[in-house]
Structure 1
Amino acid sequence: MTDQLVNGAPAGTEIFPIERLREFSVRAFVACGVPEEDAGLAADVLASADLRGIDTHGVARLAQYVEMFKQGRINPRPDIRVVRESPSTATVDGDNGLGLVVGPRANLMAMDKAETVGSGWVAVRNSNHFGAGEYYPLQGLPRELIVWAMTNSPPQVAPLWGAEKMLGTNPMAIAFPALEEPAVVIDLTTSAYAFGKVEDAARRGVPIPEGCAIDRDGRMTTDPNDMLNGGALLPLGSDRERGAHKGYCMAAMVDLLSGALSGASWGPFAPPFPAHLAPPARTVGLGVGHLFGAWQISAFIDPTEFRRQVDDWVRTMRGTRPAAGTTGPLIPGDPNRRSEETRRVHGVPVIRPVIEAMRRVAAETGVPFD
């Protein structure tokens, strides 16, 4: 299906079954030297993003990972090892591996520790971009666990009252299981706008919202290319009067917990992604850092009772009187869940620039796409 509105997608898209996109990702990673099991894990992270409508973090990222492998900036066969450990904590060195592999393995360790001793915390250094944040807490839902994930990232965001990139978008994600209602799934960046959405706007040739970015001279801009070419994103809140000091502080928290605590790089010294960005002149740690936390619900309360309370919370929020011109409050995770329900059946809409990027990946790796 091409050049029509499908599943809310604009003209100029093609619809692909998620299985086809996942299989292409697996084979592309294997062609880059990634072991097949790891390639499947990485492809699962991308497929989850595509299914749940996080189009900036699915196959749209594949060409960038492949280029990083091509330049030797990601280790396809890392020796992921624990360098410090207690019953409830660990620090993991990802050996400069693919974040889509290092992240899930560290998250699994945090969940296993939580099931053993009640909670688990795993800090990660020497990793790379770990994909869409919500993937990680979603893994805890079937295990009666609450999982919290965060990561620092390459500098794209100016600190409050700053005019240059010093912090990453530094996202965090957490999910709460319900009994009869859908889970509450929270995934947010600490910037006013996600960097992937800026890239997507540039691909589509559309502006970004006001109050999200500045150009190289520190002036507000809605042109995504202004931000990409020497500008910066703003902290969540955009300016002091709208609470940007809070977004700035949240970004600092994620940076210090993911970077300084694990021994990873932080702030402007985090390694760049995608591959066309030059590495920083100074290093302060090893690679990108993550932090995963997991809590066993039964360590605090009966899990069924907790789920009932989440049900009640969801229904109470949904019952809020709608604001004028709206249909009423959404529950965190609603848009992504609805996207997954639709895309599992009807396929994933992919815009032409991403399709062209996948064709370039096919040409470089020898993996058939068309």
Structure 2
Amino acid sequence: MLVSESALRTFTENIFLAMGCSKEHALLAADVLLLSDLRGIDSHGVARLTGYVRLWQKQRINPTPNIGIVHETPTTATIDGDAGLGLVVAPFAMQVAIKKAEQYGSGWVSIRNSNHFGIAGYHALMAVQKDMIGFAMTNASPLVAPTFSNERMLGTNPMCYAFPTGKYPPVVVDMATSAAANGKLEIAQRSGKQVPEGWIQDAEGNYTTDPHALKSGGSLLPLGSDREHGSHKGFGLSATVDILSAVLSGANYGPWVPPFVSFLEPPADPVGTGIGHFLGAMRVDGFRPVNEFKDHLDNWVSRFKSASAINPDQKVIIPGEPEYEAEIDRRKNGIPLVDAVVEDLNELAQRLNVSPLRPLKGKF
């Protein structure tokens, strides 16, 4: 089903309002989710709304948080999110990082006591709008086994780096440090499809293509899938995200991270508070004039786009380019949602007394 951006935005805002969020927070949370759907990252958009509501109903999300700085230096800060929506806590933290960068050249913020923050790209792109380089990462539900293990110890732990350009779209490297994001498994489950081999393993550590395997003790694999294909590197990247996001801030880390997924419950022996994020902003003009940097990054993009292709029909793709193209298309033509997601959302709307989603007029 195709839905217009405006209709989906209003629907999402109304769900957050029904949770008790302020108008300001509802608008912001909806904006984060909508950017994900617009950019074609369907696994982290409105498909996640049911998860936020479930955690709110379990009193694990505070709809009216008192977000604040608990430790600070001129260029760094630690923020406590007061169990608020990560969709709200992370933009607050990035604003702090940007303000510090404006004054001192760079700003770095570690966050504790937060929740799932949507796509990392949203927060990193906030810095790009100020001609800065943006960094965003978060730890997540323990679903990933480290190399040589079948025990779920880490999250998909995404990291994002975003760079401002001149004539091209921003270069945005936004990726999970696991072989695949859990949201892609959820989309496969709702679509009734298998997943590629190398994404997940069963409880015994054998490859499986069953997207439901996590519910029976299986685990996601690190980026690289196995040692021979570099999974130790994915494990190392994921560990870096976990340490910066949580060990540094006082959030839960490793297997103690409170899960977003419905089939896991929070550990009874937490080592911190909530989940953690790590955000940063760095002024380009702290290194060279902004226009010079943009000109050369444009040249970088142009040269890589013209790299000799093995297959003429498969050109080199610049990080962030597919998402930018998806955003242009979906703003114009509507956002596609799979039937199972629409059914979940409309059931949610009925429970919260919110008007249901309607298809884009004339397009079914």
TM over 0.5: yes
**Pick aligned residue for 1:324 from 311, 318, 321:** 311
Equivalent residue, structure 1, for 2:202? 215
- Find the counterpart in structure 2 of residue 4 from structure 1: none
The secondary structure found in structure 2 opposite 1:293 is strand
What's the Cα RMSD here? 1.0
In structure 2, what is the Cα distance between the partners aligned to 1:275 and 1:27?
Answer: 23
- Please state how far the C-alpha of 1:226 moved relative to its aligned partner: 1.5
- What CA distance in whole angstroms lies between the structure 1 residues aligned with 2:222 and 2:263? 24
Structure 2 SS opposite 1:33: coil
Question: Partners in 2 of 1:164 and 1:324 — Cα distance?
Answer: 40
SS of residue paired to 1:369: coil
How many residue pairs get aligned? The number is 357
| Counterpart residue type for residue 342 of structure 1 | D
Q: Which residue of 2 aligns with 1:271?
A: 258
1:176 equivalenced with 2:167 (yes/no): no
1:70 to 46, 52, 57: 57
Q: Structure 2: how far apart are the matches of 1:212 and 1:106?
A: 32
What one-letter code is carried by the residue in structure 1 that aligns with 2:143? Q
The answer to whether residue 243 in structure 2 is matched with residue 236 in structure 1 is no
1:103 and 2:90 aligned: yes
SS at match of 1:336: helix
Change over 3 Å in CA distance of 1:29–1:276 after alignment to 2: farther
Q: Mean alpha-carbon deviation: is it higher for 320-329 or for 185-194?
A: 320-329
1:57 and 1:31 map into 2 onto residues whose CA distance is: 20
Q: Do structure 1's residue 29 and structure 2's residue 16 form an aligned pair?
A: yes
Deviation (angstroms), 1:181: 1.7
Q: Deviations over 1:298-336 (max 9, x none)?
A: 111100000011101101111111023752210001110
Q: What is the CA deviation profile of residues 108-136 of structure 1, one whole-angstrom value per residue up to 9, with x for unaligned ones?
A: 11111111110000100000000011111
Give the alignment of 1:129-168 within 5 angstroms. 129-168=116-155
Inter-partner Cα distance in structure 1 for 2:55 and 2:270: 19
Distance between the aligned counterparts of 1:192 and 1:82, measured in 2? 34
Runs of 4+ in 1 over 3 A off after TM superposition: none
> Which whole-Å deviations, capped at 9, do the CAs of 1:139-180 have from their partners, x for residues lacking one?
122211111000001101000000021100000011111111
**Structure 1 contact 146–295 (Cα < 8 Å) conserved:** yes
How far does residue 277 in structure 1 lie from its aligned partner after superposition? 2.2
After superposition, give the CA deviation of every residue in 1:318-355 in whole Å (9 maximum; x if it has no partner): 11110237522100011101100100000000111110
Query: Once the two structures are aligned, what percentage of the paired residues are identical?
Result: 48
Amino acid corresponding to residue 145 of structure 1 in structure 2: M
Given that residues 141 and 261 in structure 2 are in contact (C-alpha distance below 8 angstroms), is that contact kept between their aligned partners in structure 1? no
Q: CA–CA distance in 2 between the matches of 1:279 and 1:218?
A: 23
Q: CA deviation at 1:230?
A: 1.4
| CA 1:325–1:218: 2 relative to 1, 3 Å | farther
Structure 2 residue aligned with 1:11? none
Which amino acid is the alignment partner of residue 276 of structure 2?
G
Q: Which residue in the other structure is 2:335 paired with?
A: 348
How big is the shift at 1:275? 4.0
Find the counterpart in structure 1 of residue 350 from structure 2.
363
The 1-side partners of 2:300 and 2:120 are apart by: 23
Q: Which amino acid in the other structure matches residue 152 of structure 2?
A: K
Q: 1:198 to 1:228 in 2, by over 3 A?
A: farther
Q: What is the distance in 2 between the residues matched to 1:84 and 1:141?
A: 26
Distance in 2 between residues matched to 1:288 and 1:49, nearest whole Å: 20
d(CA) in 2 for partners of 1:296 and 1:192?
A: 32
Match of 1:9 in 2: none
3-state SS of paired residue (1:256):
helix
Note if contact 1:68-1:274 (Cα within 8 Å) is conserved in structure 2: no
Aligned equivalents of 2:100, 2:313: Cα separation in 1 = 43
1:304 to 282, 291, 296: 291
Cα 1:256–1:114, aligned 2, differ >3 Å: closer, same or farther? same
Q: What letter corresponds to residue 146 of structure 1 in structure 2?
A: I
Other-structure match for 2:104: 117
Partner SS state of residue 134, structure 1: helix
The 8 Å contact of residues 91 and 123 in structure 1, kept in 2 or not, is answered as yes
Is it true that 1:294 corresponds to 2:281 in the alignment? yes
Equivalent of 2:322 in 335, 339, 360: 335
Structure 2 residue runs without a partner (length 5+)? 358-364
Amino acid at match of 2:300: W
The superposition leaves residues 225-277 of structure 1 with CA deviations (integer Å, 9 ceiling, x where unpaired) of 12343100111001111111100000111000101000000000000103442
In structure 2, the partner of 1:43 is: 30
Query: Which residue is 2:212 aligned to?
Result: 225
Rounded Cα–Cα distance in structure 2 between residues aligned with 1:246 and 1:277: 27
Which secondary structure state, in structure 2, belongs to the residue aligned with residue 143 of structure 1?
coil
Give the letter aligned to residue 294 of structure 1.
Answer: A
- TM-score, reference length from structure 1: 0.95
Q: Structure 1 residue 297: deviation in Å?
A: 0.8
Cross-structure match for 1:206: 193
Structure 1 spans left out of the alignment, 5+ residues: 1-13
Instruction: Give the whole-Å Cα distance in 2 for the aligned partners of 1:325 and 1:233.
Output: 34
Q: What amino acid does structure 1 have at the position aligned with 2:343?
A: E
Instruction: Please say if residues 215 and 263 of structure 2, whose CA atoms lie closer than 8 Å, have aligned partners that are also in contact.
Output: no
